[in-house]
Amino acid sequence: MQAGKKRLPVVNCGSHRYNGCHNLRNIGYKVPMLDIKAIREQPKEIENKLKARDPALSLDRLLLLDERRRKSIQEVETLKNQRNKASEEIARFKTAQREEEAQARIREMRQTAERIKTLEDELAATEEELNNLLIRLPNLPHESVPVSMRKEDKIVVREHKTLPTFEFEPKHHLDLGEELGILDFPRAARIAGARFPLYKGWGARLEMALINFFLDFHFTQTGYTPILPPYLGNSETMFTASQLPKFKDDVYYIEKDDLYLNPTAETLLCSLHRDEILEASQLPLKYMAYTACFRREAGAAGEEERGLIRMHQFNKVELFKFTRAEDSFDELESLVRDAEAVLQPLDLHYRVVLLPTSDIAAQSAKTYDLEVWIPSQRRYYEVSSCSNCTDYQARRGSIRYRPEPGAKPEYVHTLNGSALATSRLLSALLETNQRADGSVVIPEVLRDYVGGSVIQP
């Protein structure tokens, strides 16, 4: 049985291919997002919780395969035990020069070896199917998450400031950007294609100012360790964060090297401690990373998402925490506060919303979004998403910690939050701070970073 091997954390995984069909055949058994033991022990409870996210979901097949798997393991291991004993005997016969008896045992063991091989193949097939079901189950939503299949059923937790008012018709940021000469989408299209950004002059200054302001703030005020990660990740990295298998069509993939372009630094930071056992005293570990993020955004289009709202490439500062299991929901609250803390000095109107079961990412147990007001569209847009993924990603990447020195390792909890998606924030900033003459006022806190206080047409 290769099952034993398969269950081990996979370390050097660059050789793992997804076989074109992304069936994760070579990924270790011990990677499900939900504990198979828990599923076995309380299938109905878990199924009901998961139905809050997807009413069609059923655990029946999975439970059947689990049963079959355990039966096969027993059978195979009994045979292996026989084989191991026989091997010892053969070794003893050989050293005692009792060749006849050794040969007799070897003849017997030929059949056993064949039987083991057959059973192992069956077991491997069962485990593959089981795995493919397990890795696609979403995380269990936390009890505080509103149960609803309607995305609109989010709860507004708090609002900051009042809606901005204008004595003129506020312009769309794309028009502002073009008139000010700070955004140039036609030339970006020439270089790359549609939905790629090009910031120019004060636009580039402003975008960089936001990034630097956020990084400085979290370095000095909230204590996150800055990371400059690789911008490409391998398949194991994508799998751990749960970009794979579900979002394979949304991620840019470089086939020749079997690497994926970073869709969000969450994905990269999540694998920072993959296959490690951390000490409880190290936790929580707080990291942040600025990266450009790349997404194919297949199927996305429309007037609403013109300009900087939805692009193939955007900038983002990401916060990421590895915490003890019992602390993670408290850590989520402080993560949201940390993300908000950079929004407040920018003087923008925003709100914090708690997403319902149907709208949270598969890996997340609970998600708050920060939404900022976009005046030209008279609607809110998400600039941050803060999630507690509990042990979901930790299981996939085998990221653990010892609660006490010498104690059995447990899975850490992982949390991520954008702080913030600067590209979207820039549109809110331009639109909110525009004046009747077409100029844009730079918020106080950014002026030193930008090197100016007003962008004039």
Are 335 and 294 in contact, with CB atoms under 8 Å apart?
no
> Footprint of RNA on residues 76-105 (CB under 7 A)?
77-78, 80-81, 83-88, 90-92, 94-95, 102, 105
Q: Catalytic: 376? A: no
Q: Which of 5, 61, 98, 150 binds RNA (CB under 7 A)?
A: 5
> Does 324 participate in binding RNA (rule CB under 7 A)?
no
Q: Tokens at residue 32, please? A: 């499900």
Pick between residue 261 and residue 419 the one whose CB is nearest to RNA. 261
> Footprint of RNA on residues 388-427 (CB under 7 A)?
400, 405-406, 408-409
Q: Which of 195, 205, 274, 295 is catalytic?
A: 295
Q: Catalytic: 424? A: yes
> Footprint of RNA on residues 21-60 (CB under 7 A)?
26, 28, 30, 36-37
CA angle in degrees (0–180, nearest 5) for 228-234-239: 105
Q: Which of 195, 310, 396, 400 is catalytic?
A: 310
Residue identified by tokens 């990373």 is 289
The count of residues in the chain is 457
Q: Which of 22, 51, 54, 73 binds RNA (CB under 7 A)?
A: 73
Q: Tokens at residue 40, please? A: 């076995």
C-alpha to C-alpha distance for 265 and 351, rounded to whole angstroms? 24
- The DSSP code for 219 is I
N-term to C-term CA, the chain: 71
Are 388 and 327 in contact, with CB atoms under 8 Å apart?
no
Residue identified by tokens 């689990």 is 66
Residue 391 one-letter amino acid: D
Q: Catalytic: 276? A: no
> Does 8 participate in binding RNA (rule CB under 7 A)?
yes
Q: Which of 57, 63, 106, 341 binds RNA (CB under 7 A)?
A: 106
DSSP secondary structure letters along 356-390? PGGGS-TT-SEEEEEEEEEGGGTEEEEEEEEEE-T
**Coil/strand/helix, residue 322:** strand
> Does 225 participate in binding RNA (rule CB under 7 A)?
no
Q: Catalytic: 400? A: no
Q: Which of 19, 42, 58, 74 binds RNA (CB under 7 A)?
A: 74
Are 206 and 182 in contact, with CB atoms under 8 Å apart?
yes
Number of residues that bind RNA (CB under 7 A): 52
Q: Which of 235, 364, 385, 423 is catalytic?
A: 385
User: Measured from the CB of residue 16, what is the shortest distance to RNA in angstroms?
Assistant: 7
Helix (H) or strand (E) holding 5: helix 3-7
Instruction: Pick the piece of the chain touching RNA (CB under 7 A) from 3-11, 46-54, 367-375, 437-445.
Output: 3-11
Instruction: Pick the piece of the chain touching RNA (CB under 7 A) from 1-9, 294-302, 319-327, 358-366.
Output: 1-9
Tell whether the torsion through CA atoms of 162, 166, 171 and 174 is positive or negative.
negative
User: Measured from the CB of residue 83, what is the shortest distance to RNA in angstroms?
Assistant: 5
Q: Catalytic: 295? A: yes
Q: Tokens at residue 134, please? A: 């397990």
Catalytic residue positions? 295, 310, 382, 385, 424
The residues of the shown chain that bind RNA, judged by CB under 7 A, are: 1-16, 26, 28, 30, 36-37, 70, 73-74, 77-78, 80-81, 83-88, 90-92, 94-95, 102, 105-106, 109-110, 112-113, 277, 400, 405-406, 408-409
